[in-house]
Amino acid sequence: MSLLIGDNLVVSMNYKLTDDTGEVIDSSEGGEPLNYLHGASNIIPGLEKELVGKVQGDALTVTVQPAEAYGELDPELVQTVEKGLFEGVESIEPGMMFQAQGPNGEVQRIMVKAVEGDEVTIDANHPLAGKVLHFEVEIVSVRDATEEEIAHGHVH
């Protein structure tokens, strides 16, 4: 009997992720399937919820709204800062990614949105925030997680 996807099971799946325009954002095609520990918040909530009860061999299409993916765009995470904050960086261009320290000491990824004179507009939103995500998923396998995987919260 096939295991039904649920908490503390390791799921292996092939997937293709596209946006509303059909552009491929990410895919396991040509590589290894994605393995994750179900119920440990290893994948976005909207996709994890739709996989509950599925079994090996199932194929499905899932649309996930921003609230159950990477959140809505937060305008407060877009700021204009002085170019001097980028010490040691010779040329700052739109699209460049940097790591910064957030207000609580956490690492935050920021993207340069615009450069005008000595001012740089940065965005700390996740690159997929505010986007509706479309997944095509095929369940390759489902197995019980080991005690160590459960304790650590991820697949080994």
pLDDT in tens, 71-95: 999 999 999 999 988 888 889 999 9
Q: Which CATH number among 3.40.190.10, 3.20.20.10, 3.10.50.40, 1.20.59.20 corresponds to the domain 9-70+128-152?
A: 3.10.50.40
Mean pLDDT for all residues in the chain: 95
pLDDT at site 77: 93
Q: Could you give the CA distance from residue 56 to residue 69 in angstroms, rounded to a whole number?
A: 24
Q: What is the pLDDT of residues 31-65, one digit of tens each?
A: 999 999 999 999 999 999 999 999 999 999 999 99
Q: Which CATH number among 3.90.1150.10, 2.40.10.330, 3.40.50.1100, 1.20.20.10 corresponds to the domain 75-123?
A: 2.40.10.330
pTM for this prediction = 0.84
Residue 87's alpha-carbon distances to 29, 84, 91, 92, 127, in angstroms, are 39, 6, 11, 11, 24
Q: Where are the domains of the chain?
A: 9-70+128-152, 75-123
Q: When comparing pLDDT for 104 and 143, which is higher?
A: 143
